[in-house]
Amino acid sequence: MNRFLRILPLAGGLLTIFPLSGQTPVAPTGVSAQGYDRHIELRWQPVADPAVTNYQIYRSTNGGVNYDFLKNSGGNTGTTIDWTGDEGQTVARHYRIKAVKNNGLTSDFSDPALAQTRVFSDEELLDMVQYYTFRYFWDFAHPVSGMARERSNGDGNIVTTGGSGFGIMAIIAGAERGWITRAEALSRMSQIVSFLQFADTYHGVFPHWMNGTNGNTVPFSQYDNGADLVETAFLIQGLLAARQYFDQNNPNENAVRNAITKIWEDVEWDWFRKNNGPVLYWHWSPNYGWQMNFPLRGFYEAQIVYLLAAASPTHPVPGSLYQSGWTANPGYCTQAIYYGYPVYCGGFGGGPLFFAHYSYLGFDPRGWKDACCNYFIRNQNHALIQWEYAKKNPEKHLGYGENSWGLTACDGPNGYSAHDIQPNNDDGTIAPTAALASMPYTPSQSMAALKYFYRNLGEKLWGNYGFYDSFNESLNWYAPSYLAIDQGPIVAMIENYRTGLFWNLFMKNPEIEPALLACGFQPDNSVLTQQLALPNALVSVYPNPVQGSQFTLVVENKTAQVLSAGLMDITGRPVLQIMATEYMPAGKNTRTVLTGHLPRGIYLLQIKNADNQLLVKKIILSN
């Protein structure tokens, strides 16, 4: 046999022939290393040689004197993670890499790269989780459409409509946090909206799945091969946030805004009343019509559909449809209490936690209530119910506790399924997205979960796009997958917790507030003006009203505690971060707060402790 050919058998008795090169491959170049809290990420430029099948990673822990083989990395990648698990130590490590051909020949070592881990602050951990998760929508996006692929372990040409709406928000967060430039984000948005303008739609409504290369519908099921109104609403939610973000008066941003407006105005929300009926329907098929017959009633992830349908400038539905459709079931409002928390609406225990996330990536529920409840309070209680459930752990699952919680729809040992606290609906599978996307509702509990998932389980649960989809410690099972609809809420909701970015952007669209009023919502400041006591602390502000361009905040602690503080406008939207999860010792602590850049008016000072107890004070800026 020619020593430069390798012949391998394939299924069906066929043979495939791979050319082998007798030349030693060149060493990888551009090797870099970045240290984090418990891991180090290596990056390099893949060798431009189709015969290279993998890379050998070597590591030195003695200053680069000796290198030991660490692991193999696939030939199509230029990145890998070394999970060090240093547990608070600051340890430097050197790395070198070899390229390996399919004939076994290896290159020389690459140039070395050095990095070290260190303990990250809470803010740095949030940065890290957002950044890695953002990469799912940036690095792993479909190359033709720019849309979000449905999942990391499926058909790479299937893109998801709703997941792409979430991913648009992740791209904006990436620009805001400097991981990409505004110009790069705009270019990707132009790619996405250009694709959407020519993709399949049905009365302006997109299907659940599309082929990312040509925009053709990929059936979700036999009868679900046409319009998906809920997935389209999630996409529009992201697009409307982008329309507000790209607000500069230049040809490129104008073009993206105009394209988004056209997509938004083309959606025939009113047609999905099915013959002008009192409720909206989820699906319609060009082959099977209304065969799916799924009216949008009751509380689950689809509330945003009615808000957008009432807000449509071209094909609106009457706001009264919110009552005749969404809240029409007699049992929509409930007096049920679970683990001490009223849930107000929804099924047993509130249902899977994605019910509290998908409609609220853009819609800011803090300042509004309908006849049933304020949905920020409802969603906060939903998350707290699941947190309490994990602490009680009635099913005795391994790993459940106050730092490891969150049941939602996700991959599991037996496939994709929706999990919640209902009897027989909890098989021990936790999804990081459940707790992490609840960050605005339960910041201390969600932050504790983030630390546990990363620091305790990260060796099995952390990968190139952040946390894998789910895990089951009872079965020692860890998902190998990422899902767009689980990744997106992590980025967007952490950002809403930190800055309120997407709540601010979406709510700035002029169509939204009139739609809320038409649907029967009323302004509600109960979330924003709770005068709860802050234990062991006396808080004062002077001068108040503020006459100049600054005021002094004094926090006198009886005992040391961790606090965060910020200013909100009267609607509860964050405008200034004063302290981000900061340790404050016992005694008097003072902060000078600069306010010269803020317009005159009434603001709310909010101070939280680690147990999510808060104090709200009214601040008047009269300068």
Residue 348 lies inside a defined structural domain of this protein: yes
Residues 161 and 291 in one domain: yes
**Model-level pTM?**
0.85
pLDDT for the residue numbered 528 = 62
pLDDT at 6 over 50: no
The CATH number that applies at residue 497 is 1.50.10.140
Q: Which of 119-123, 149-153, 433-437 has the lowest mean pLDDT?
A: 119-123
Q: What band does 87 get if pLDDT is binned at 50, 70 and 90?
A: confident
Mean pLDDT (whole number) for 464-477 = 97
CATH of the domain at 113: 2.60.40.10
20-71: pLDDT as tens digits: 456 899 999 999 999 999 999 999 999 999 999 999 999 999 999 999 999 9
Q: Do 92 and 159 fall within a single domain?
A: no
pLDDT at 367 over 70: yes
The 3-state DSSP composition of the chain as helix, strand, coil percent (nearest 5) reads: 30, 25, 45
Among 119, 149, 176, residue at a domain's last position: 119
Residue 419 domain-assigned? no
Range scoring the smallest mean pLDDT among 17-26, 154-163, 320-329, 357-366: 17-26
Q: Give the CATH number, domain containing residue 588.
A: 2.60.40.1930
pLDDT at position 375, please?
97
Domain that holds residue 140: 125-376+490-518
Instruction: Please indicate, yes or no, whether residues 562 and 510 belong to a single structural domain of this protein.
Output: no
Pair 432, 461: CB distance under 8 Å: yes
Name which residue leads in pLDDT, 236 or 17. 236
| Overall average pLDDT of the 131-155 stretch | 98
Same domain, 133 and 20: no
Both 274 and 179 in one domain: the answer is: yes
**Average pLDDT in the 519-536 region?**
74
What pLDDT was estimated at residue 531?
44
Residue 23 in any domain: the answer is: yes
User: What 3 state SS string does 252-294 have?
Assistant: HHHHHHHHHHHHHHHCCHHHHHCCCCCCCECEEECCCECCCCC
Q: With bands split at pLDDT 50, 70 and 90, how would you rate the model's confidence at 529?
A: low
Residue 433 is assigned to a structural domain of this protein: no
Of residues 406 and 548, more confidently modeled: 406
Task: Check residue 620 and give its pLDDT.
Answer: 84
Instruction: Classify residue 431: in a domain, yes or no.
Output: no
Percent of the chain with pLDDT over 90: 77
At residue 3 the predicted structure's pLDDT band, cuts being 50, 70 and 90, is very low
Question: At a CB cut-off of 8 Å and minimum separation 6, what does 35 contact?
Answer: 115, 116, 117, 118
Question: Strand ranges (DSSP E) for 185-244?
Answer: 209-211, 217-218, 227-228
Q: Are residues 252 and 329 in the same domain?
A: yes
DSSP secondary structure code for residue 599 in this structure: P
Q: Is residue 415 part of a domain?
A: no
pLDDT over 80 (residue 88)? no
**Distance between CA atoms of 335 and 341, rounded to whole angstroms?**
10
Question: According to the model, what pLDDT value does residue 12 have?
Answer: 46
User: Distance from first CA to last CA of the chain, Å, rounded?
Assistant: 87
Top pLDDT among 618 and 577 is at 577
pLDDT recorded at residue 621:
86
Looking at the fold, whether 500 and 576 belong to one and the same domain comes out as: no
Please state the separation of Cα 604 from the chain's center in Å.
27
User: Are both 61 and 141 inside the same structural domain?
Assistant: no
Residue pair 166/231 in contact by the 8 Å Cβ criterion: no
What pLDDT score was predicted for residue 16? Answer: 47
For residue 13, the model assigns a pLDDT of: 47
Domain presence at residue 104: yes
DSSP 3-state assignment of 55?
A: strand
Model pLDDT, residue 177: 96
Omega prior to 599 cis, within 30 of 0: no
Range 576-601 average pLDDT = 88
Among the listed residues 286, 316, 303, the one whose alpha carbon sits nearest the alpha carbon of residue 351: 303
Q: What is residue 615's predicted lDDT score, i.e. its pLDDT? A: 77
Which of the listed residues 71, 101, 119 is the one where a domain comes to its end? 119
Q: Are 20 and 132 within one domain?
A: no
Model pLDDT for residues 249-292, shown as the tens digit of each residue:
999 999 999 999 999 999 999 999 999 999 999 999 999 999 99
How far is it, in rounded angstroms, from Cα 140 to Cα 159? 11
Higher per-residue pLDDT: 443 or 466: 466
Indicate whether 570 pLDDT > 80.
Answer: no
CB 220 within 8 Å of CB 228: yes
CA 193, distance to chain mean position in Å, is 21
Name the residue with tokens 């016992």: 586
Show Cβ contacts of residue 490 under 8 Å, excluding neighbours closer than 6 positions.
Answer: 129, 130, 133, 432, 433, 436, 437, 466, 467
Q: What is the arithmetic mean of pLDDT over 487-505?
A: 94
For residue 367, how many other CB atoms are within 10 A of its CB?
A: 24
HEC string for 96-119: EEEEEECCCCECCCCCCEEEECCC
298 and 368 share one domain:
yes
Average of per-residue pLDDT across 329-338: 93
Residues sharing a CB contact under 8 Å with residue 394, sequence separation 6 or more, in sequence order = none
Q: How many domains does the chain have?
A: 3
The per-residue pLDDT for 622 is 80
Q: What's the pLDDT band for 505 if we cut at 50, 70, 90? A: very high
pLDDT of residue 532: 47
What pLDDT, on the 0 to 100 scale, is given for residue 492? 98
pLDDT of residue 533: 56
* Whether 508 and 578 share a structural domain: no
Question: Is the domain of 161 the same as that of 83?
Answer: no
Domain-embedded: residue 435? no
What is the predicted pLDDT for the residue at 9?
A: 46
Q: How many Cα atoms within 13 Å fall on the side-chain side of residue 441?
A: 29
200 or 87: which leads in pLDDT: 200
pLDDT digits (tens, 9 = 90+) for 145-155: 999 999 999 99
Which two structure tokens, joined as six digits, stand for 189? 């948005």
Query: For all residues of the chain together, what is the average pLDDT?
Result: 92
- pLDDT at residue 77, rounded to an integer: 81
Of 119, 138, 166, at which residue does a domain stop?
119
